[in-house]
Amino acid sequence: MVRWSQLFNADGHDRRHRIQDEFRSLLPTNNRREHLPKSPIDAKEVTKIALRLKHQIEQVIPCELEEDLVSKPHSPILTKAVVATAKQAGGEENRACVVYCLLVVKKWFKSQALVELWDADLHDIRAIAAELIAKRIIEEEEDLDYLLEDVLLKRYSILIHGEATVPANAIERAVDLHALTVIGSSGYQKCISYLWRGWLVQDDEDPSRFVAYEGKTNTDYWSHLDPDRMRVPQYQNTVQIAMSVIYLGLYTGAINTVNPSGDLDVVEGMLYIFTLGFVCDEFAKFWKVGRYYIGFWNVFNTTLYLLLTTSFIIRMVALSAAPGTDKRKINNELGYNFLAFTAPMFWMRLLLYLDTFRFFGAMLVVLKVMMRESLIFFALLIVVIIGFLQAFIGMDLTDDSLEDTGFVIKAMLNAIMQSPEFDGFDKFAPPFGLILYYIFTFVVMVILLNILIALYNSAYEDITENAIDEYMALFSQKTMQFVRAPDENVFIAPFNLIELFVLVLPFEWWLPKPRYERLNDYVMGFIYSPLLIVTAFLETRQAHKVRFNRRRGEEDDDTVHEWEQVLNECDFEADGWDKKVQATKPNVEFDTAVLEVQKLRLEVREVRELLVELKDRGWGSETLKESKVLGEKTDEAEAEAEAEAGTGSASSETAGRDAEE
C-alpha cells in the first residue's frame, strides 16, 4: 500500500489524450502532478525529434509497400543508412531519446490510420517501420549501461495541447503500445530481466532514473537481508503465489469442514480475513489508477470477493439466530452454498499468478484475446435475443396475460447452449410460435455460434504464431506493474491489513518520517523474514556468479553452456577452418540475382578496360567500330540487369543470359 503523500498523477484538459495514450498503464492517478519527476530533456525538444523521425519515415516509405519488404532482416527499405540517419535525429546530446520518440511516432501513425481509413495500410506500414528502426537501434547499441539507463529507462515527455505529458520511458511505451517487435529485442529483454531480478532499481533520490543495484557483486550474506529488497518484482511475485496457494488451502479447509451448528471456526475466519485484505488491495489499486484499471481479471476477482462477502454476511445472519432454530439452519446452508459456488473461481484465480511460466502465459494471452473477440458475438446475440423475445412476448400477450414468459426465456437460453427444446412451441401461438423458434434456433446455432468459432480460431492462430513474443509482452507488462509505480513500503495482501491498521492509522499521521520508515522496515523484516533468509542466500550465490563473469570479461548474467567449456582450446584461424568456412558461406544480405548482377558489372568493367587498352595500341577503325558496338550491348545488358534487380524480380538465370549477350 502506498503512502497517501506519494499518490500522484497529472490533471488538466490533456487527461483524455494521456489516458488514451497509456491505456494499459498502471501509473497512479490523482491531481498532484508536482510529485512527478521531470523529463531530463525539454518536452518541446523531444516532440521536435519525434517530428523529424516522422518526416523521415514518411519520405522513406512514400507509398504503400508490402510488409515483407520492410520487415525482412536485410530490408532494401530500412537500410543501414536509414537507421544511421534516425540515430542522428536528436543530435549527439539528445540521442538517448530517439527510441522513445520512435515509439511515439508509431502511436501517431496508428492514430492516423484510424482517422484516415483510405490510407490505413500505408500508415500501418510506417508504424511497423518506426518500430523496426527502434529495435535495430536497441540491438546495435554496444554500451549496455547506456542502453539500459538512458535509452530504455530514462523518462521523457512530449507536448500535447501545449502541456507536457506524464514522463514515461521506452520500456513503458512499448508495453502500452503492445510493440511486440521492440519487446522481442535482445536489449529490451535484458532490461526486463535486470528489473525482474532487482539488478536495476529506482534511485531513491531521483525517481526519474534507474540505477544498478549496489549489492549485485557483494558476497556478504548479511548485506542482502534488507526489507527493501521486497520491492524486487521476482520476490513480490513469489509472495503473491504463496499467498494465493495459502488462500486456496484455507478455502479447501473451510468448504470441507462444514459446521452444521453455524459456528465460525479458525480456518473460515482466516479465509474471510484474507478476503478482506484482497478487497482492500483491489480498492487501493482502483483508487490510484482509476477506471482504466478495470480488466478481465479485476472483474473476475471482484466477483469472487463479492460472493465470499455475501457468504460471510449470510453466515453472520445465521450466527445471530438462536442455535437449533430454522432461521439459523437455513441461513447457514445458504451461506455454505454461496461458498461452494466459488470453488471453480478459486482454482481459476491461480492462473492470474502463474502467467510468469511460459505455458500458462501463452494460454492466458489466448484466453484474453478470445474474450475480447467474444464481444462481437455477444453484441450480435443481444440484438437477436431482444428481437425474438419481443416477438414471443407479443404472442403471449394476445390473450392479455403473460403466462409463458419463463418457458420462452428458458427455451431460448437452451438454444444458445446448443440444447433447444421444441416441445411446447407447437401449442404456443400455433403455427407462429414453432416457426419463430425454428428461425431463432437456426440463427443462433448455425450462424452466430459458427461466427464465434471462427473468431476463436482466428484469435488462436494469431496468438500461437507469435506465442513467444506475446509471452514476452505479458511478462514485460507484469514486471512493469511492480516497477512502474512501486510502493514505498511493500505490504502484499493480506499483509496490507497490518500496514493499514498497525502502521498507517496509528502512526503515519504524527510520527516523523525517518522514524516511520524505520518502523516500516522493522515490521517488513519481521513479516518477510522467512523469504528474506532464502533470497539473501540466492543473491549471495548470484554475487559470486557475477564476479566470476566479470573476471572472464562477460556480461553479468552470462551462463557457461556445455559447448563453451572447451571453446577456449579451439583456434579456428590457426588450423585454417575459419578460412574454409568464409570461402564457402553464402551471402544472405543480398538476393542471388543482385549478386549475379554485381559479378556481371565486374566482368563488363574488365571488358571496357580491355577495349581501352586495345584502342591505345592503335587497332583499325573496323575493329574499333565492332568494339564500340560490343560496348553498347554490354551497357544495355548491364542497365537491364540492374533494373530487374532493383525491382526484386530479376533472377540469377536472367542475369546469366544478359551476361552471355
The model's pLDDT over 215-232, given as tens digits with 9 standing for 90+, comes to 888 888 888 888 888 889
Q: Residues 381-406: what's their mean pLDDT? A: 78
Q: What pTM does this model have?
A: 0.77
- On the question of pLDDT at 398 being above 70, the answer is no
CB 103 within 8 A of CB 173: yes
CB 133 within 8 A of CB 82: yes
Which band of pLDDT confidence, cut at 50, 70 and 90, is reported for residue 325? Answer: confident
Terminal C-alpha separation, the chain: 79
Spell out a b/e string for 114-148, using b for 16 or more CB atoms within 10 Å of the CB, else e: eeeeeeeebbbbbbbbbbbbbbbbbeebeeeeebb
Torsion of CA 45, 51, 57, 60, to 10 degrees: -100
Q: Residues 231-248: what's their mean pLDDT? A: 91
Q: Residues 560-586: what's their mean pLDDT? A: 82
Q: Is residue 502 part of a domain?
A: no
Same-domain pairing of 15 and 45 = yes
- On the question of pLDDT at 34 being above 70, the answer is no
> What pLDDT is attached to residue 636?
63
Q: Residue 61 corresponds to which cell in the numbers above?
A: 516509405
Report the percentage of the chain scoring pLDDT > 90.
25
Secondary element (H or E) of residue 201: strand 200-202
Same-domain pairing of 259 and 339 = yes
Q: Residues 179-196: what's their mean pLDDT? A: 92
DSSP secondary-structure letter at 575?
A: T
CB 248 within 8 A of CB 350: yes
Q: Residues 332-337: what's their mean pLDDT? A: 90
Same-domain pairing of 283 and 389 = no
Contacts of residue 467, defined as CB under 8 A and 6 or more positions apart, other chains included, come to: 362, 365
Q: Tell which of 433, 463, 479 closes a domain.
A: 479
Same-domain pairing of 364 and 345 = no
- On the question of pLDDT at 624 being above 70, the answer is no
Same-domain pairing of 170 and 274 = no
Torsion of CA 296, 297, 303, 305, to 10 degrees: -160
Same-domain pairing of 405 and 457 = yes
Among 285, 464, 248, which Cα is nearest to 361's?
Answer: 464
Would residue 578 be called left, alpha or beta, if left means φ above 0 and alpha means ψ between -120 and 50 degrees? alpha
Residue 448 and residue 439: Cα distance in Å, rounded? Answer: 12
Same-domain pairing of 292 and 308 = yes
What pLDDT digit, counting tens, does each position of 489-502 carry? 788 888 989 988 88
Same-domain pairing of 59 and 108 = yes
- On the question of pLDDT at 189 being above 90, the answer is yes
Q: Residue 648 corresponds to which cell in the numbers above?
A: 526484386
Residue 535 and residue 49: Cα distance in Å, rounded? Answer: 43
CB 316 within 8 A of CB 268: no
Q: Is residue 22 part of a domain?
A: yes
Q: Is residue 225 part of a domain?
A: no
> What pLDDT is attached to residue 47?
93
Q: Which residues pair with 201 in a beta bridge?
A: 211
What pLDDT digit, counting tens, does each position of 243-285 carry? 999 999 999 999 988 888 778 888 999 999 999 999 998 888 8
Q: In whole numbers, what is the pLDDT of the chain averaged over residues? A: 81
> What pLDDT is attached to residue 8?
32
Same-domain pairing of 365 and 347 = no
Q: What is the DSSP string of 227-291?
A: GGGGGSHHHHHHHHHHHHHHHHHHHHHHHTS--TT----HHHHHHHHHHHHHHHHHHHHHHHH-G
Q: Is residue 402 part of a domain?
A: yes
Which band of pLDDT confidence, cut at 50, 70 and 90, is reported for residue 643? Answer: low
Q: Tell which of 443, 458, 479 closes a domain.
A: 479
> What pLDDT is attached to residue 511?
86
Residue 452 and residue 449: Cα distance in Å, rounded? Answer: 5
> Apex CA 538: angle with CA 537 and CA 543, to 5°?
100
> What pLDDT is attached to residue 21?
42
- On the question of pLDDT at 7 being above 50, the answer is no
Report the percentage of the chain scoring pLDDT > 70.
85
> What pLDDT is attached to residue 650?
40
> What pLDDT is attached to residue 320?
85
Q: Is residue 655 part of a domain?
A: yes
Q: Is residue 112 part of a domain?
A: yes
- On the question of pLDDT at 652 being above 80, the answer is no
Same-domain pairing of 167 and 19 = yes
Q: Tell which of 432, 460, 479 closes a domain.
A: 479
Q: Residue 609 corresponds to which cell in the numbers above?
A: 578496360
* CB neighbour class for 658 (10 Å; exposed up to 12, middle 13-18, buried from 19): buried
Among 639, 642, 651, 610, which Cα is nearest to 627's?
Answer: 610
Q: Is residue 566 part of a domain?
A: no
Q: Residue 183 corresponds to which cell in the numbers above?
A: 519487446
Q: Residues 422-432: what's their mean pLDDT? A: 76
> What pLDDT is attached to residue 533?
92
Expressed as residue numbers, the domain containing 297 is: 244-353
> What pLDDT is attached to residue 85?
94
Same-domain pairing of 348 and 377 = no
Residue 297 and residue 351: Cα distance in Å, rounded? Answer: 10
Number of domains the chain is built from:
4
Same-domain pairing of 453 and 324 = no
Lowest mean pLDDT among 30-39, 91-100, 524-533: 30-39
Q: Is residue 581 part of a domain?
A: no
> What pLDDT is attached to residue 640?
61
Which band of pLDDT confidence, cut at 50, 70 and 90, is reported for residue 477? Answer: confident
